[in-house]
Amino acid sequence: MKKSIKDKLIFAAIIIAFYGVIGIGLTLETFSSWAFVLIVVGTIISFPLIHLISKGTIPRLPVPSSFLAIKLSHMTSGILIVLFIILFGRLSTLTLLAAFMISYPIYLYFRRSNRNILFFSEIFSVLWGKDTFKGKVFLGGLYGLIGVFITLLLFEPRMAIAALVSFIFADPSAAIIGKKFGKHRWFFNSKKTIEGSISYFLVVFIVLTFIIPIKNALIIALIGAMVESLPYLNDNVSVPVCMGAALSLIR
């Protein structure tokens, strides 16, 4: 089979998987029809826009490094998910997350062979830089989707949103502070720094003081920073779930 034909089939498989789940959601009335219109319009607009940016016709916003670009895109994605929860509700958001969780692994599977998959490779090139994905498969986005899905599934929307908003801002700040200023590593996890954990604690505490009492915000910020620093756990899953549980128990 010719490479161009195979690439188009891979692209079609990802799109069919994504919109197939949303279609099931529409049938079962777990996905808002207005949300569906928004997703379709967004897809139609993004196709030519991403292509023009990747070709240099429209200038790409300058970002100092791929690391910073990845963290900023994660934060932006998280904010959009929270807005989606507020606008369209819990069931529509869970359906959308399920669509991403089923279609994204298809992309990752074929990305392992270092293929440039139509449109999707252009998206990551525009967001993170052309060389970011060379020979690499990043699972952080998939774990992030799983973490958000479990948090929203298990806890009431208000608590889930509080946990997610805290995580959205604390995670990139801890990563950036830890990478740039981190000099003291935890004895139980050499991949995490004390400076990064302090940053995580402060950001969660500040965010939560606008949502819950200060005393409770202090306790939950401490729990979040502790869980984030633990080894052998993927913090994209463990932190929002643990913070959602803590917020549900400590009000």
Measured distance CA(245)–CA(250) in Å, rounded:
9
Each of the 251 residues of the chain gets a pLDDT tens digit; together they read: 555 677 778 778 888 888 899 999 999 888 999 899 988 898 888 777 776 766 666 666 665 566 777 777 778 888 989 999 999 999 999 999 999 899 888 877 776 665 666 666 666 655 555 544 544 556 777 888 899 999 999 999 999 999 999 999 998 888 888 888 888 888 888 889 999 999 999 999 999 999 889 999 999 999 999 999 988 888 889 999 999 999 999 86
**Cβ neighbours for 241, distance < 8 A, ≥ 6 positions apart:** 147, 150, 151, 154, 163
Which pTM value belongs to this model? 0.86
Written as one letter, the residue type at 80 is L
User: Which pairs with CB-CB distance under 8 Å and at least 24 residues apart come from 216-223?
Assistant: 216/250, 216/251, 219/246, 219/250, 220/166, 220/246, 220/247, 220/250, 221/166
∠ at Cα 138 (132, 141), nearest 5°? Answer: 115
Measured distance CA(96)–CA(99) in Å, rounded:
5
Q: What H or E segment, with its residue span, contains residue 68?
A: helix 66-88
